[in-house]
């Protein structure tokens, strides 16, 4: 039952916006505006003083709406929120997002108000997201309660990564960045004060969500710790969970107290809990999504042996350093494999590991090399560093390389993950984006590519430890490897 | 004298391209093509089989050119390079870039060939850059011997950062990325095999170069170690030097041996040498330039106390973590300062450190806060996290904020550096780039902004240790702070 209610937040047939406004400077205007952009269900603006808002008929109360309402978005002054929720309950609404601030986070009577809000919701079996949040953004259904002006921010396309954020502003900044970077999002959820729905509820839902392959989180503090750990354990054997937990430092924990009022708790406790439950810890926004992109597009690695296949010698060296720093191995290849590589490469190429095809390379050098490396049985992951700008590499290299790699990988018992590093500008990123569309994640630097491989290794290790590696791979092959 | 010759590589009155070609697939064509784009001196294509190349009169030999030639760019097969250099010497040429590969890096007769090349050059007092390099790129003078097709790569604008690279391909990738990112370059120099000109020669030149504020390097190995250290010591008290040294790991050092043939040497030796001479060490391409941008635009910090001024609470927490991780401090502010902040901020704002003006903030909250923070005497650097997308912040915030900050900083004995973090998409980066044009470096994440502040602190510490902090600040105020 609860999961069906959670579903209403992401895929409602109708949405009432309580506190809808005709004033473009108001949150209640922008929510209706942003919903209208993509959402194709019914939108009911609720405002006792308006007949019509943004071309939609307005109602004085949810009780005056004749149809069923699946989801209410509440943006009215905090003191009247409990009363509004009561009306929603009477109307039979089961899901409400409370955008309004002025609850637990302000202390004092805010705490009482939040209690009352939740008691009211419970009376009706209603679930609450927030208060003090920016709600949800679901590209697939067009549900978008983030109230920022689309002239000032971008919204990412549909994709495989779910993102749960305890900070609304940070969540919005990430969406905006993801839109520019071309990262697809399955669901974004701003949890705010977590008065009712929290990470645990969402994990239970997202683990079953076929649109979500990887779950990412920005966390300041977890309250229901034991429950969280139990649910995470059940999640991470099926989908990767990556968390950015702030408040690592004492000064950071102090800052959290005055931000969301969460108790940050000792960082070591979180760190241990993450390790115990298989959560991969990220140390920054780029780190979080670098790893998430890799895990959403590529299978986990069965071991720590990395092959580096590069057009630029210097980048090969730096990739080796970065991989080694992370505890990965860049092993020498066997004489047999070196010999095979030597046969297909230029005389000036270096057939060891890194395999340096050099700046004089042509497409076939990369394509023959990836086949030899994948078939060698000597490596568990590949970092590909193509240097698209060099003259011998054609514009078709991406298709040619990825098609060959996929073909070889299909024949292997366990597919070998490949990630790319593409330092460069506009032309390079045009091709890099094509590679990502075809399933190979690309990074601006070798260090970030190495971290992505580390995440694939780290998650593979967790799956093996839990005896579900092959099950996951089978499932991944069916759904993710096209 | 030597410096005057080095100058010829960057600002020659005439350039001969030996091995110029009419075939667009050849390096010798692309060099002439790229030179023609921006270089306004005379270009002499040298090719015994052509009368004209790309609309320029071609000559069979440099000896047939009547004018003086300041710089020769040599791209002919390796075996005839020594003979070509001899002709250059006879012509009185004092500077030559040898693009051609097939020297020390291939071993065997390549080693002899490189010796002969250098002996020949020395006979005439000629300086050689390379061989096996991509030469130089100087936006100000249009000298551009990188031989990549401009349809496939971008070239950055003139700026304050010099970049010396031991890897040609990596150097080109960095230029291309810098063009996209909008990072200005004073001089790019690919040193190749360093048969003659090496980092030491270039540092001696660049320390005097008024276009260069920060020197960055990608290094695989340094041969003349003692000389390098002596020159670096003299450089770092006047300009920051940041180095990305690869081959940190054993596997990486092995990879270097097969890339440039350099001896990577024990990493600990480099690390100690860098610390002793004040070189700031970078651990990746983004790290290198993140720090370089900060040091080129902002003064060094006089201490490690950081104020965080943020519109987003979560980002404030993460910035605090990141700064603390790096050994910086995010101190509580005094009651007096907190009181001053409280007076100008919204009641829901947090006037501690991080100073969280909240997503409801308006321009004046940021502007009044920066004045109070800079004047407080309690902090040595500021991380500004503006969240340009929130509705209360106007499009003019960048000008207004930076003008106020500059005004206050001008009145202080020691200016306080400010860096920004702007997680977001197109609108955010339009404003962020404006901020960079006005002198405040902006980063996509708080972690990178914190690292930039760390570099400002670290360099300030080095200057203080050498008793030249105030001298540097005075000079920086005169030339860099507008």
The DSSP string of A7-74 is HHHHS-SEEEEET--S-TTSHHHHHHHHHHHH--SEEEEE-TT-SEETTEE-BSSGGG--S--SEEEE
Same domain, A76 and A51: yes
Domain count, chain A: 2
Instruction: Determine the distance in angstroms separating the CA of A170 from the nearest CA of chain B, rounded to an integer.
Output: 6
Name the maximum alpha-carbon separation found in chain A. Answer: 81
pLDDT at A482 exceeding the cut of 70: no
Same domain, B321 and B196: no
pLDDT at B185 exceeding the cut of 80: yes
Burial class (CB in 10 A: 0-12, 13-18, 19+), B63: exposed
What is the CB neighbour count within 10 angstroms for residue B383? Answer: 29
Instruction: Determine the distance in angstroms separating the CA of A459 from the nearest CA of chain B, rounded to an integer.
Output: 24
What is the CB neighbour count within 10 angstroms for residue A272? Answer: 11
Domain of residue B399: give its range.
Answer: 299-479
Same domain, B248 and B384: no
Residue B3 is predicted with a pLDDT of 87
CA A21 to chain CA centroid, Å, is 32
Residue B398 is predicted with a pLDDT of 98
Residue A263 is predicted with a pLDDT of 62
Question: How much of chain A exceeds pLDDT 90, in percent?
Answer: 92
Same domain, A155 and A249: yes
Do A286 and B220 lie within an 8 Å CB cutoff? no
Do A320 and B252 lie within an 8 Å CB cutoff? yes
Q: Which of B102, B317, B385 to mutate to test binding with chain A, by most A CBs within 10 Å of its CB? A: B317
Same domain, A436 and A339: yes
Instruction: With beta carbons under 8 A apart, name residues in chain A contacting B256.
Output: 317
Do A176 and B359 lie within an 8 Å CB cutoff? no
Find tokens 């003019």 and name the residue: B396
Residue B121 is predicted with a pLDDT of 98
Give one DSSP letter per residue of B300-342, joined into a string. Answer: PPSSSBEEEEES-HHHHHHHHHHHHHTT-B-PPPPHHHHHHHH
Residue A260 is predicted with a pLDDT of 66
Residue A253 is predicted with a pLDDT of 86
CATH code: domain of residue A394: 3.40.50.261
**Three-class SS of residue B132?**
coil
pLDDT at A481 exceeding the cut of 70: no
Same domain, A49 and A151: yes
Residue that finishes a domain, picked among A232, A264, A294: A294
Rounded distance between C-alpha atoms, residue B256 and residue B246, angstroms: 8
Residue A280 is predicted with a pLDDT of 98
Residue of chain A minimizing CA distance to B424: A177
pLDDT at B263 exceeding the cut of 70: no
Residue of chain A minimizing CA distance to B390: A148
Question: Which candidate, B167, B190, B170, places its Cα nearest to that of B259?
Answer: B167
Q: pLDDT band at B262, cuts 50/70/90?
A: low
Query: Which 8-state DSSP code applies to residue B480?
Result: T
Which residues have C-beta within 8 Å of that of residue A335, sequence separation ≥ 6? none
Residue that finishes a domain, picked among B244, B259, B294: B294
pLDDT at A335 exceeding the cut of 70: yes
Q: What is the pLDDT of residues A186-222, one digit of tens each?
A: 999 999 999 999 999 999 999 999 999 999 999 999 9
* Mean pLDDT (whole number) for A457-479: 96
Do B252 and A423 lie within an 8 Å CB cutoff? no
Residue of chain A minimizing CA distance to B257: A317
pLDDT at B482 exceeding the cut of 80: no
Same domain, A305 and A285: no
Q: Which of B99, B260, B318 to mutate to test binding with chain A, by most A CBs within 10 Å of its CB? A: B318
Instruction: Determine the distance in angstroms separating the CA of B322 from the nearest CA of chain A, rounded to an integer.
Output: 9
Do B387 and A169 lie within an 8 Å CB cutoff? yes
Do A251 and B329 lie within an 8 Å CB cutoff? yes
Give one DSSP letter per residue of A118-180, joined into a string. Answer: HHHHHHTT-EEE-SSS--EEETTTTEE---S-TTT---PPEEEEEEEES-HHHHHHHHHHHHH
Do B167 and A350 lie within an 8 Å CB cutoff? no
Do B258 and A325 lie within an 8 Å CB cutoff? no
Question: Which candidate, B106, B102, B39, B115, places its Cα nearest to that of B76?
Answer: B102
pLDDT at B1 exceeding the cut of 70: no
Return the higher-pLDDT residue of A350 and A265.
A350
Helix, strand, coil content of chain B in percent (nearest 5): 45, 15, 40
Do A249 and B356 lie within an 8 Å CB cutoff? no
Residue B313 is predicted with a pLDDT of 93
Q: pLDDT band at A290, cuts 50/70/90?
A: very high
For residues B235 and B203, the answer to whether their CB atoms sit within 8 Å is yes
Residue A480 is predicted with a pLDDT of 77
Residue of chain B minimizing CA distance to A174: B424
Instruction: With beta carbons under 8 A apart, name residues in chain B contacting A348.
Output: 101, 106
For residue A444, which phi and psi values (nearest 5 degrees)?
-70, -20
Residue of chain B minimizing CA distance to A260: B313
Q: Which of A155, A218, A255 to mutate to test binding with chain B, by most B CBs within 10 Å of its CB? A: A255
Do B318 and A254 lie within an 8 Å CB cutoff? no
Q: What is the pLDDT of residues A102-144, one digit of tens each?
A: 999 888 999 999 999 999 999 999 999 999 999 999 999 999 9
* Mean pLDDT (whole number) for B281-292: 97
Same domain, A350 and A281: no
Residue of chain B minimizing CA distance to A388: B152
Cis status, amide bond into A131, omega within 30 of 0 = yes
What is the CB neighbour count within 10 angstroms for residue B233? Answer: 14
Residue that finishes a domain, picked among A294, A325, A344: A294
Instruction: With beta carbons under 8 A apart, name residues in chain A contacting B315.
Output: 167, 169-170, 173
Q: pLDDT band at B147, cuts 50/70/90?
A: very high
Same domain, B348 and B265: no
Same domain, A440 and A307: yes
Q: pLDDT band at B106, cuts 50/70/90?
A: confident
Question: How much of chain A exceeds pLDDT 70, in percent?
Answer: 98
Residue of chain B minimizing CA distance to A426: B180
Q: What is the pLDDT of residues B206-218, one digit of tens each?
A: 999 999 999 999 9
Q: What is the pLDDT of residues B387-437, one digit of tens each?
A: 999 999 999 999 999 999 999 999 999 999 999 999 999 999 999 999 999
Residue A254 is predicted with a pLDDT of 82
pTM (2 decimals)? 0.96
Q: Which of B251, B254, B287 to mutate to test binding with chain A, by most A CBs within 10 Å of its CB? A: B251
Residue of chain B minimizing CA distance to A348: B106
Same domain, B140 and B270: yes
Do B259 and A313 lie within an 8 Å CB cutoff? yes
Instruction: With beta carbons under 8 A apart, name residues in chain B contacting A151.
Output: 427
pLDDT at A262 exceeding the cut of 70: no
* Mean pLDDT (whole number) for A432-446: 97
Query: Which 8-state DSSP code applies to residue A354?
Result: S
Q: What is the pLDDT of residues A71-98, one digit of tens each?
A: 999 999 999 999 999 999 999 999 999 9
Rounded distance between C-alpha atoms, residue A236 and residue A277, angstroms: 7
Task: Give this complex's ipTM.
Answer: 0.95
Same domain, B277 and B353: no
């Amino acid at each position: 039952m609860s999961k069906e209610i959670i579903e209403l937040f992401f895929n409602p047939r109708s949405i009432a916006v309580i506190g809808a406004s005709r004033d473009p400077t108001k949150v209640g205007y922008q929510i209706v505006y942003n919903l209208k952009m993509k959402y194709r269900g019914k939108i009911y603006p609720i405002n006792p003083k308006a007949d019509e808002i943004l071309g939609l008929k307005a109602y004085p109360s949810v009780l005056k709406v004749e149809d069923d309402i699946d989801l209410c978005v509440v943006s009215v002054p905090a003191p009247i929120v409990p009363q509004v929720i009561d009306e929603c309950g009477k109307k039979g609404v089961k899901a409400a997002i409370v955008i309004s601030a002025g609850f637990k986070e302000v202390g004092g009577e805010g705490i009482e108000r939040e209690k009352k809000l939740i008691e009211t919701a419970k009376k009706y079996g209603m679930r609450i997201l927030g208060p003090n949040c920016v709600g949800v953004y679901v590209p697939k259904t067009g549900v978008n309660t983030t109230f920022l002006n689309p002239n000032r921010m971008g919204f990412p396309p549909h994709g495989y990564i779910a993102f749960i954020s305890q900070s609304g502003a940070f969540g919005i900044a990430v969406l905006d960045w993801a839109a520019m970077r071309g990262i697809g999002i399955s669901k974004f959820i701003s949890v705010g004060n977590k008065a009712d729905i929290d990470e645990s509820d969402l994990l239970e839902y997202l683990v079953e969500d076929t649109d979500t392959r990887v779950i990412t989180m920005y966390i300041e503090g977890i309250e229901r710790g034991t429950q969280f750990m139990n649910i995470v354990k059940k999640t991470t054997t099926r989908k990767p969970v990556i968390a950015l937990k702030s408040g690592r430092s004492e000064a950071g924990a102090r800052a959290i107290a005055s931000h969301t009022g969460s108790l940050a708790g000792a960082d070591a406790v979180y760190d241990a809990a993450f390790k115990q439950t298989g959560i991969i810890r990220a140390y920054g926004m780029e780190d979080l999504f670098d790893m998430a992109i890799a895990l959403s597009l590529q299978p986990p690695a069965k071991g720590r042996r990395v092959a580096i296949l590069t057009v630029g010698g210097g980048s090969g060296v730096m990739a080796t350093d970065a991989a080694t720093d992370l505890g990965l191995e860049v092993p020498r290849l066997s004489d047999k494999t070196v010999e095979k590589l030597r046969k297909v490469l230029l005389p000036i190429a270096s057939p060891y590991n890194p395999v340096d095809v050099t700046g004089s390379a042509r497409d076939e050098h990369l394509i023959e090399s990836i086949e030899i490396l994948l078939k060698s049985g000597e490596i568990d992951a590949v970092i590909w560093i193509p240097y698209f700008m060099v003259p011998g590499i054609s514009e078709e290299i991406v298709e040619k390389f990825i098609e060959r790699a996929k073909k070889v990988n299909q024949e292997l018992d366990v597919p070998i993950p490949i990630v790319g590093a593409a330092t460069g500008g506009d032309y390079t990123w045009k091709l890099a984006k094509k590679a990502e569309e075809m399933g190979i994640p690309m990074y601006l630097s070798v260090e970030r590519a190495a971290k992505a491989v580390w995440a694939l290794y780290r998650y593979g290790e967790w799956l093996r430890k839990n005896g579900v590696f092959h099950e996951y791979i089978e499932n991944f092959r069916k759904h993710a490897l096209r």
